[in-house]
Amino acid sequence: MIPAAVDYVRPADLGEALRILKEREGEAKVLSGGYSLLPLLKLRLAQPAILVDLQAIGGLDGISRTDDDIRIGGRATHRRILEDEGLAAVLPIMRDAAGGIGDPQIRNWGTIGGSVAHADPSADWPAVLQAVRASIVLRSADGERVVPARGFFIDTFQTGIEPAEMLTEIRIPLPAPKSGSAYQKLERRAGDFSTVGAAALLTLGADGRIAEVGVGLTAVADAPFAATHAEDALRGARPGDELFREAAAAASRQSRPADDAHGPAEYKRAMVTEMTFRALRAALGRALA
């Protein structure tokens, strides 16, 4: 189909973009990489009055590190995340996820902020952000809000972003020593959206037990979510395959998959168990490396 007529503007800086979002509140859509939004425009599932293109705005695509966290600009492409050696050394889960998104063209242009703001219930990044307890930075002409990823994803394609706000940054707490993280996904073909996606982060204490843990799931509910039942089973326990199987089964029971073209719900619940187990095992291996 052909998209409906729409106004288009390419602001020169962030302040101008935020001013436009405020002036056209409820009418504007932000265009970052475009791989989520453009198909919706073509199908007329989204019909904004104006597109605000961020291509000319600098400073929104960096990856940096502070004493407390890692900061990823909303316009950082999947490829940039995939190729950042410093990020992969601290949070290998980011490379896991970025490497499985789409094809090279999509990774070259698609952005993490666009994916997170779009909130496809089968997207990879939302599960990862749940596991690593990321925060989402939202900017408007009136100021800044920082929203935990756990609670940001409300429903299918629905987030906590207000109409005049823009996602500008993602902040991830620096993992403690003896931490490992991993993302595992089941897909119909390479680069596809997840049939089941599981993200895990483990931190081992001095006694070898699991001091802290995060588990995030995607594609098995109306929105990505933290598998808190699995986390409760893991926290304070000594890691191992038997424990990981029990925790993965708890994650499966907490999931709410649908019967659809990707497979029946019963199959997806079984795959939640398997993908969560694999993610936990891989995370442990990295924590011990």
Q: Can you tell me the mean pLDDT for 262-267?
A: 92
**Mean pLDDT of the residues in the chain:** 94
- For the chain, the first-to-last Cα distance in angstroms comes to 51
Q: Which two tokens stand for residue 98?
A: 């970025």
**How confident is the model over 183-221, as pLDDT tens digits?**
999 988 776 788 999 999 999 999 999 999 999 999 999
Give residue-wise pLDDT tens across range 80-120. Answer: 999 999 999 999 999 999 999 988 888 999 999 999 999 99
Beta-bridged to residue 169, according to DSSP, are 73, 137
Of 40, 43, 52, the C-alpha closest to 8 is: 52
Give the amino acid at 40. L
- Tally Cβ neighbours within 10 Å of residue 11: 18
pLDDT over 70 (residue 1): no
CA 115 to centroid of chain Cα atoms: 7
Closest CA to 257 of 247, 242, 270: 270
Structural domains of the chain in order of their starting residue, each with its CATH number: 7-53 (3.30.43.10), 63-173 (3.30.465.10), 179-284 (3.30.390.50)
Q: 1 vs 124, which has greater pLDDT?
A: 124
CA distance 99 to 118: 19
The residue that leads in pLDDT, 231 or 102, is 231
Element (H, E) at 252: helix 241-254
pLDDT at 45 over 80: no
Whether 262 has a pLDDT exceeding 90, the answer reads: no
Dist. CA 19–CA 167, nearest whole Å: 15
What b/e string do you get for 243-281 counting C-beta neighbours within 10 Å, with b at 16 or more? ebeebbbbbbebbebeeeebbeeeebbebbbbbbbbbbb
pLDDT digits (tens, 9 = 90+) for 122-164: 999 999 999 999 999 999 999 999 999 999 999 999 999 999 9
CA dihedral for 226, 193, 69, 248, sign (positive or negative): positive
Distance CA 47, CA 27 (A): 9
- The pLDDT assigned to 226 comes to 98
> Using CA atoms, how far apart are residues 109 and 247, in angstroms rounded to an integer?
36
State pLDDT tens for residues 49-77.
Answer: 899 999 899 999 999 999 999 999 999 99
